């Protein structure tokens, strides 16, 4: 990259204060040491910049790099890793890379919907389905400190929401899910949460509890 291009480098991140999908991008940019402008969107009144940058989904997060917008959080993470190669979040070997991509998809397509399903509906069957998913995640941590191995990687950033939102979720619903049935996941949550770039960028726990308590009441008006 020429000096001129580097000088012109402009990075903007459209996110919300609470979204775990936005938070993964914050963590990745911090890990890479990239300066960026953070723009918090009000989803009830989306900015023209968001509507213009992600016309198909009109969703955050969007990363805008030198005027070019990229949507879909895992696509953004891959973009960041290829563009700024310091502190890689994906391994080089194709098989290991495929494994990280597989688990990122598992989180977004299976784990998150199963947590959401318990949050809005509860019920034993849904809880069992969620516990099955957590067991698979526990299994994947066997013999490893982080999902990425010795250091955090893409899957750690993607699973990172577990380390704070699960606590909020447990507080709001009164369900205890990640306990000593999941010793590796519990240990990972503790260790992951202690990493400076992670803990320095959590949204406020108290604000999250207020937000999710209101949401929970909306789905359970009689409670």
Residues binding its own copies (CB under 8 A):
56, 65, 68, 70-72, 75-76, 78-79, 82-83, 94-95, 97-98, 101-102, 105-106, 136
C-alpha 126/C-alpha 104 separation (Å) is: 21
In the complex, the smallest distance separating the C-beta of residue 20 from its own copies, rounded to whole angstroms, is 18
Say if CB 64 and CB 53 are below 8 A apart. yes
Cβ distance to its own copies smaller for residue 63 or 162: 63
In the complex, the smallest distance separating the C-beta of residue 99 from its own copies, rounded to whole angstroms, is 8
In the complex, the smallest distance separating the C-beta of residue 221 from its own copies, rounded to whole angstroms, is 28
In the complex, the smallest distance separating the C-beta of residue 78 from its own copies, rounded to whole angstroms, is 7
> SS3 for 67?
coil
Q: In what order do the strands lie in the sheet with 68-71?
A: 37-40, 11-15, 62-65, 68-71
Cβ distance to its own copies smaller for residue 66 or 201: 66
Q: Which DSSP helix (H) or strand (E) runs through 43? A: none
Cβ distance to its own copies smaller for residue 79 or 202: 79
Say if CB 80 and CB 36 are below 8 A apart. no
Cβ distance to its own copies smaller for residue 5 or 45: 5
Give residue 206's Cα distance to chain centre.
19
């Amino acid at each position: 990259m020429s000096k001129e291009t580097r000088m012109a480098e402009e990075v903007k991140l459209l996110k919300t204060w609470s979204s775990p999908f936005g938070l993964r991008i914050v963590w990745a940019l911090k890990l890479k040491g990239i300066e960026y402008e953070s723009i918090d969107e009000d989803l009830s009144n989306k900015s023209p910049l968001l509507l213009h940058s992600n016309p198909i989904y009109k969703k955050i997060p969007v990363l805008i790099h030198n005027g070019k917008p990229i949507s879909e959080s895992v696509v953004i993470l891959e973009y960041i890793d290829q563009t700024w190669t310091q502190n890689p979040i994906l391994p080089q070997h194709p098989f290991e890379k495929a494994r990280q991509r597989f688990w990122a998809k598992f989180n977004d397509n299976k784990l998150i919907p199963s947590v959401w399903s318990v949050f809005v509906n509860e019920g034993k069957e849904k809880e069992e389905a969620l516990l099955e998913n957590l067991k698979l995640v526990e299994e994947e941590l066997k013999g490893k400190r982080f999902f990425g191995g010795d250091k955090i990687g893409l899957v750690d950033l993607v699973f990172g929401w577990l380390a704070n939102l699960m606590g909020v979720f447990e507080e709001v619903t009164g369900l205890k899910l990640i306990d000593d049935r999941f010793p590796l996941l519990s240990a990972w949550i503790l260790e992951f949460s202690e990493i400076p770039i992670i803990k320095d960028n959590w949204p406020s726990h108290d604000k999250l509890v207020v937000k999710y308590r209101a949401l929970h009441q909306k789905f359970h008006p009689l409670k």
